Structure 1
């Protein structure tokens, strides 16, 4: 009997130690599940069952039990009955994880939006595009190239190919269509960069000036420029690890104001000599954008009035943190067709239906390889300058997000290609080279 009691005590001690050690991780797991469930249901208009079986069906997120309240518009996720997190929806701002219960009852400023143009043909509006058949395109080959994406390995949800401003191929997985909003994850970073390009064109900002944060004024961080931050080449310390408790997971699941996370970090390298991917840097840039405006309302409106609604990305919602700042690192939802519009804006050198939002010089700047990035990164935009994709032109660049969300811009081919899915398994080189070879020049 004594031996049995000792074994039982040992088991209890082991369980207690395991729970205590992993408790912070449970916070992140429940937070991810609740946030994803709430956004999927209330932003993307999917149901919880679909979300549980797809978006939240991977380890360890699939250990969580989630529920939603359709009336109060919140989702909660519970891990083994040990810890629960709640995310709630705010009209115009998307969903956010609550830190305190009173967060659910606060009022929040919301951005002013314009009505969608449903009369003008795509891409400048949302009406059906004018029927155009290009004699130099092998449509069968393009469709066969896209078909490969839609299998159990690739798990693609949507693919759109736009040539000379016209959709020439489009395919969706079961349960998705042209009206489905999909989270772009880190493609949101490229939106942040674009907004700096717009402000520069409006002569309201100089990205080569110092960031000038009060917290940095008495140390070497004072030399960091907005340019360094845009290129993720500031030298600031940051741990971008989604598998563990890290800087990025603490920011996304525990912070009230995500623009502050990177500010607190010391230098771990030298500005302009230390490229390192950091979502904290992008949210810091969102904070810099906030500082360009006298009021928070102006900041909220700018993202939509000067870019998103301006180019008819009317399906898009960029979610904010509890402090009301856009989470520029991660949280933009839009239809694949609207994501393609952002690529077309770049393909057309910043000109949208006759209006210049930013210049070709900005594109040249944004797609200039960052020092020490091996030709892989520009200003919040990914590059092929290092020929990561050997059968794709070097001047191809793209917006990229978690699980293989991509908008590829191919200037020489007059192409924009969108691929959105649940994995990064898609063979990008084969996809793009296959599409290119389908077009005779």
Structure 2
């Protein structure tokens, strides 16, 4: 959810001095992260690569950023990051998988998206408001202090009763710009699992069909998809919640940045605690689910998996900008690496506000949203459900009771407030403490007050009809 990497210069120096035995796997963490993020910014979001390194990568690497050099090849659509000139990792853009780390990316089958490049979205399509309360609320999201942490908001979309009532974008970002949701990708994983459950292809409470755990004598055999989604598998897959000095050595980061098959790397890990005995937020749990989705939805075929996600979820919601990035085997990363426009992130939130129904059709089985937003035992004081963060009425979220949210590192949010029929999507690159969460509490508080007092229910643009062309293939 909250953190990524912050290895110290001392740790990186130790890696360099350690020699060939220890250098590659640990050094892969900062170099793979740098290559991946810059590649995705350039070739998925069509943003400036140097800005992406300065605003996104360098703050997470801390002093170690001085030892990392990044080189982009726009012709080949590759980005290479090298650590102290000794060890390098490359990310390659490959349609429709986004950027994939490792030479194995060339093995992924190319799948052309239907249709040609859509025309650029016109600036006039942005929903503007004259409502002073809405304007003031957006000011909260975009305001910057003169000397404090940077907020760097890229986009904010406010949806009330299924209509966009206001939105705002930073220069260079528009309604069709795919933006990184970071750990909001876990909520997308939840959605794909919900579709599979609705289709009768997956049982969340049966032993997960993971090849490494097929032996009933294996203590991991009892791990269910529900356990993985709720972060209580017991697997020794590290943690992805609190920044630590030894981030390059954490199993979660080694799985995410040093493994061509992330799901298999996580599945091979032993148990650290009995299944369902403890809550530990780790990207490793969701990596197993990403591989499970490829095996179940696509029969192991990466192209079929991408087609499944578009056909059964995104196209039914009108989400035309989405890129689900994968590991080198074609499995969705699961924990992160989902890019979508702010409007499309809002569309995902609206689906959950509407209890899994879109366009009069049920996308999820009845009860899925309640399941997803039910507090997982042991997750307090953080308040985690099944791929979503939740308010339980006894925690310190500060949001209206009953709210739930997708949340990602560096200030990514889709907050759903059922009591006010609100969905708020905000994406950016915040360096503020806790991902600028306090500002989001103020923003949602102001919007909830507005929603509960306004009588203008027909204002704005219907989210289901709002223009949002598919992201353009990168040239």
Does the alignment reach a TM-score above 0.5? yes
Shift of 1:78: 2.4
What residue number does 1:259 align with? 263
Task: Give me the whole-angstrom Cα distance separating, in 2, the residues matched to 1:361 and 1:111.
Answer: 34
What residue number does 1:346 align with? 352
Shift of 1:64: 2.2
What residue number does 2:3 align with? none
* Counterpart among 352, 367, 373 of residue 367 in structure 1: 373
How many residue pairs are counted as aligned between the two chains?
Answer: 411
**Within 5 Å, which residues of 2 pair with 1:413-432?**
413-423=420-430, 424-427=435-438, 428-432=440-444
| 1:188-234 CA-partner distances (Å, limit 9, x unpaired) | 11111111211222222221111143433222212222221221112
Cα 1:389–1:284 change in 2 (3 A) is same
Deviates more, 1:284-293 or 1:163-172: 284-293
What residue number does 1:159 align with? 156
Tell me the secondary structure at the aligned position of residue 313 of structure 1: coil
Cα 1:317–1:358 change in 2 (3 A) is same
What residue number does 1:51 align with? 52
What residue number does 2:195 align with? 198
Task: Give me the whole-angstrom Cα distance separating, in 2, the residues matched to 1:260 and 1:48.
Answer: 31
Task: Give me the whole-angstrom Cα distance separating, in 1, the residues matched to 2:83 and 2:345.
Answer: 34
List alignment gaps of at least 5 residues for structure 2.
Answer: 1-11, 454-475
Tell me the secondary structure at the aligned position of residue 77 of structure 1: strand
Shift of 1:172: 2.0
Task: Give me the whole-angstrom Cα distance separating, in 1, the residues matched to 2:276 and 2:386.
Answer: 12
Task: Give me the whole-angstrom Cα distance separating, in 1, the residues matched to 2:360 and 2:182.
Answer: 30
Cα 1:325–1:163 change in 2 (3 A) is same
Contact 2:233 2:275 in 1 (8 A): yes
Kindly indicate whether residue 185 of structure 2 is the aligned counterpart of residue 185 of structure 1.
no
Shift of 1:18: 6.7
Task: Give me the whole-angstrom Cα distance separating, in 1, the residues matched to 2:110 and 2:239.
Answer: 30
**Within 5 Å, which residues of 2 pair with 1:256-405?**
256-292=260-296, 293-296=298-301, 297-374=303-380, 376-389=383-396, 391-405=398-412
| 1:224-255 CA-partner distances (Å, limit 9, x unpaired) | 22221221112222212563321122112211
Kindly indicate whether residue 262 of structure 2 is the aligned counterpart of residue 250 of structure 1.
no
Task: Give me the whole-angstrom Cα distance separating, in 1, the residues matched to 2:336 and 2:17.
Answer: 30
Task: Give me the whole-angstrom Cα distance separating, in 1, the residues matched to 2:395 and 2:199.
Answer: 35
Task: Give me the whole-angstrom Cα distance separating, in 2, the residues matched to 1:395 and 1:230.
Answer: 20
Superposed CA RMSD: 2.7
What residue number does 1:239 align with? 238
* Counterpart among 403, 413, 419 of residue 406 in structure 1: 413
Task: Give me the whole-angstrom Cα distance separating, in 1, the residues matched to 2:226 and 2:44.
Answer: 33
* Counterpart among 430, 436, 439 of residue 448 in structure 2: 436
TM-score by length of 1: 0.86
What residue number does 2:38 align with? 37
Contact 1:387 1:394 in 2 (8 A): no
| 1:279-306 CA-partner distances (Å, limit 9, x unpaired) | 1111101222223243514323211111
Highest RCO, 1 vs 2 (Cα 8 Å, sep ≥ 6): 2
Shift of 1:95: 0.8
Tell me the secondary structure at the aligned position of residue 298 of structure 1: helix
Contact 2:96 2:306 in 1 (8 A): no
List alignment gaps of at least 5 residues for structure 1.
Answer: 1-14, 120-126
Shift of 1:319: 0.8
Shift of 1:132: 11
Shift of 1:390: 5.5
Task: Give me the whole-angstrom Cα distance separating, in 1, the residues matched to 2:115 and 2:353.
Answer: 25
Contact 2:30 2:248 in 1 (8 A): no
| 1:357-394 CA-partner distances (Å, limit 9, x unpaired) | 11341111111111111271111111111544454222
Contact 1:110 1:300 in 2 (8 A): no
Task: Give me the whole-angstrom Cα distance separating, in 1, the residues matched to 2:418 and 2:14.
Answer: 56
Cα 1:436–1:46 change in 2 (3 A) is same
Contact 2:294 2:330 in 1 (8 A): no
Task: Give me the whole-angstrom Cα distance separating, in 1, the residues matched to 2:128 and 2:313.
Answer: 27
Shift of 1:399: 0.7
Deviates more, 1:193-202 or 1:239-248: 239-248
| 1:373-418 CA-partner distances (Å, limit 9, x unpaired) | 1271111111111544454222111111111211011111111001
**Within 5 Å, which residues of 2 pair with 1:52-67?**
52-58=53-59, 59=62, 60-67=64-71
